Structure 1
Amino acid sequence: MFTKTAHPPWHGRYVTLDGMRGIAAMAVALFHFNISQAPHGYVAVDFFFALSGFVLCTSYLPRWQAGMRAGDFMTKRLVRLYPLFLVGIALTTTVGLVRHYTGSDASLKLSTIAVSTVFNALMLPSPLTGTLFPLNVPAWSLFYELIANLVMIAALFRLPRLALVAVCIASAWWFAPAVVDNGSGNIGAIWSEWSLALARTLYSFCAGMLIAKMRQPAHRPATLGGLICLAAIAAMLLADPQWIGVAYYDLACTLVLSPLLVWFGSRVEPSRKLAPAAWFVGEVSFALYAVHWALIEPMRYFKDDLQYDEVLMAFVFLGACLATAWFCVRWIDVPARTLMSDMLRRRKEARLFAGTDRSTDG
């Protein structure tokens, strides 16, 4: 993977945040596979949004200030997200069709599956179902991620810190009462929750941007703090404190704990021995999130029908998710992104050449 004289692939990265993102993705998958083993896994989505706001603001705000156009930014985001997103849609649609024809799930008509798949493959919600992405339900957050990206490049980059704080306050004011009424923070996957999902997204996204605008340390020490962050994100998503109530715990995770963990995780790094594992789970985290829904029902057959041990099956399921995610990153995502980037670069060079040629002719 790398030579002794070259930098390792995690050099210059926020390795603690990579590891936390990987743990959060596994918690989401485990929540969907067996809710009792990760009862609050869904609040990982809020951590993802806060982390995305931090990373994108850190990486792209200077480029935007230097003149980067919105179209170029959104193109880069689509190149980053679309290959694995499409793989997830393809896999979950395949599983959905198999379940439909075998009679294990006939809740959706074939025409609904066909139309929904077309819309979903374009990263758009299905117009025929109450669920935005009926065959790959977790994809709803990727749709709102794109919306947040567009809002960021079009408006949020222009706002001062105080205005971002105002967006956070307004967003929290809108969705927090709904979380209490709903009894949990698991909100956003259906059409009727669109405004709450948007507010939930913007709160965490703007919180991440505010963290990025804070003064960053010149050096991130490899201390026990990195390990604490990894343990803390796992504890937050796997714990189920009864004394506070589900809705209030979810709000605490969304409003306070997730941004706090992004802030702390951006300032410390794990030890050298832990860095490779943290980098790996972070590297495959998006792929895991995109494809894990397709593995749930096949793996549940062993847990529910054959009565295999739940703990054993949780490890087998997560292992299968990690292996599938690694394969998708290595053999699909990296080649596809390279090809798309090369095509866009050649097209841009061709436009520049044509413009230069016309100006010369004139």
Structure 2
Amino acid sequence: MSKIYASAAFADSKPHYNLLDGLRGVAALLVVWYHIFEGYAFAGGTLIESINHGYLAVDFFFILSGFVIGYAYDDRWGKSLTLKDFFKRRLIRLHPMVVMGAVLGAITFLIQGSVQWDGTHIATSMVMVALLLTMFFIPAIPGANYEVRGNGEMFPLNGPSWSLFFEYIGNILYALFIHKLSTKALMVLTVLLGIALTWFAVFDISGYGSIGVGWTLDSVNFLGGALRMLFPFTMGMLLSRHFKPIKVRGAFWICSAVLLVLFTVPYIEGTSPISWNGLYEAFCIIVIFPILVWVGASGNTTDKRSTQICKFLGDISFPLYIVHYPFMYLFYAWLIKNQLFTFAETWQVALGVYFWNILLAYIVLKVYDEPVRKWLAARFLSKKSK
């Protein structure tokens, strides 16, 4: 399951990194495709056969978030930005879509028949409790009555919200602590977190054989989710402090192709003496993703069409990530009910689900997210903080 994922709002006086917006959108598109194939694996009890490492999009989102937050806010503390203003800006940027994802999750769960995966019927009152808790971002305890799907998710109405939960933690730590660190201290912290993440992945501490952790509220998942957020988040901030552009042509297409290749590498067998799959994942997060962010931030859109593509992808990236999974639940339930386990059997429906989510993300962005954020900013942000 994948944050995963939201971008930081840039300071209004600073230019956007258009290519990073576009890459965020590419990662969101790939994670939706990954979740479609996760459905076949879930329904048939098999391994995922396409975009095998799509969950790494979450880690890529975190490093992008750290980079743009550092870029947008590091030099504003004590000048035009207060702690209160920062938190208001982040809530306005992120939380309207958190609420929308929760509402869609409740609606689709009711459409599905309000049943857990084992067929147990859930009372509507518990669905409403789950909705309320998700809207206030209070994670579910595995096994509780309001953990309505019965597979331990933090946010059972919209599973990928787990990554936003860690994103919020990262934002709080940044505002209270991390932004005050010198660049040298930030580098030390980032290195230590990188070592911890490598240990967690390479020695398969979760027992999953992958770093796809963080989605449930047990101790191993909380530790793994925290490390998945903290290392790339601080690495992104460190990159933003050191960043100097390099000359690169075709940066967007190069980085997009690299992401596609990285995400489609098959699961790597072998857990003794180390997890080779974990080693691969750690290499992607610690080495490749920082390079992609640097290259992406260095590139420029050279024509109107490229600029429009990157803007569109960036605009829909967060809405797409946060609203698509409720419809994946319906897709999974349909696969299970009809005993359909392959893309070849269901490609028409799978493509329909994929493009429906893209369309829905755009509609929600224009009809709900942008107007609500505009109203909230006008109502709650001071002119100085804007």
Indicate the residue corresponding to 1:124 in structure 2: 138
CA shift in 2, pair 1:312/1:234, >3 Å: farther
Q: Does 1:236 align with 2:258?
A: no
Q: Which amino acid aligns with 1:318?
A: Y
Percentage identity across paired residues of the two chains? 27
Shift of 1:293: 0.5
Of 82, 87, 92, which residue of structure 2 is paired with 1:79? 92
Q: Is the 8 A contact 2:27 2:259 kept in 1?
A: yes
Shift of 1:190: 1.0
Aligned positions of 1:25-174 closer than 5 A = 25-35=28-38, 36-66=49-79, 68-101=81-114, 106-107=119-120, 109-110=122-123, 111-127=125-141, 128=144, 129=147, 130-174=152-196
Partner of 1:174, secondary structure, is helix
* Structure 1, unaligned runs of 5 or more: 1-10, 350-362
Normalised by the length of structure 2, the TM-score is 0.79
Q: Take 1:316 and 1:210, find their aligned partners in 2: how far apart are those partners?
A: 40
User: Bigger shift: 270-279 or 95-104?
Assistant: 95-104
Indicate the residue corresponding to 1:206 in structure 2: 234
Indicate the residue corresponding to 2:9 in structure 1: none
Indicate the residue corresponding to 2:18 in structure 1: 15
Q: Take 1:107 and 1:214, find their aligned partners in 2: how far apart are those partners?
A: 53
Q: Is the 8 A contact 2:26 2:256 kept in 1?
A: yes
Q: Is the 8 A contact 2:30 2:54 kept in 1?
A: yes
Indicate the residue corresponding to 1:294 in structure 2: 326
Q: Which has the higher helix share?
A: 1
Q: Take 1:108 and 1:176, find their aligned partners in 2: how far apart are those partners?
A: 41
Partner of 2:298, secondary structure, is coil
The CA RMSD measured in Å over matched residues stands at 2.6
Q: Take 1:108 and 1:282, find their aligned partners in 2: how far apart are those partners?
A: 39
Of 310, 314, 321, which residue of structure 2 is paired with 1:282? 314
Indicate the residue corresponding to 1:355 in structure 2: none
Task: Note the alpha carbon deviations across 1:24-48, whole angstroms, 9 max, x for none.
Answer: 1122222222132211110111110
Q: Is the 8 A contact 2:130 2:156 kept in 1?
A: yes
Q: Is the 8 A contact 1:167 1:202 kept in 2?
A: no
Task: Note the alpha carbon deviations across 1:280-337, whole angstroms, 9 max, x for none.
Answer: 1111000000000012133457767396735554433321111000000000001111
CA shift in 2, pair 1:71/1:175, >3 Å: same
* Structure 2, unaligned runs of 5 or more: 1-13, 39-48, 271-275
Shift of 1:344: 1.1
Q: Take 2:306 and 2:347, find their aligned partners in 1: how far apart are those partners?
A: 24
Of 222, 243, 266, which residue of structure 2 is paired with 1:194? 222
Q: Which amino acid aligns with 2:23?
A: M
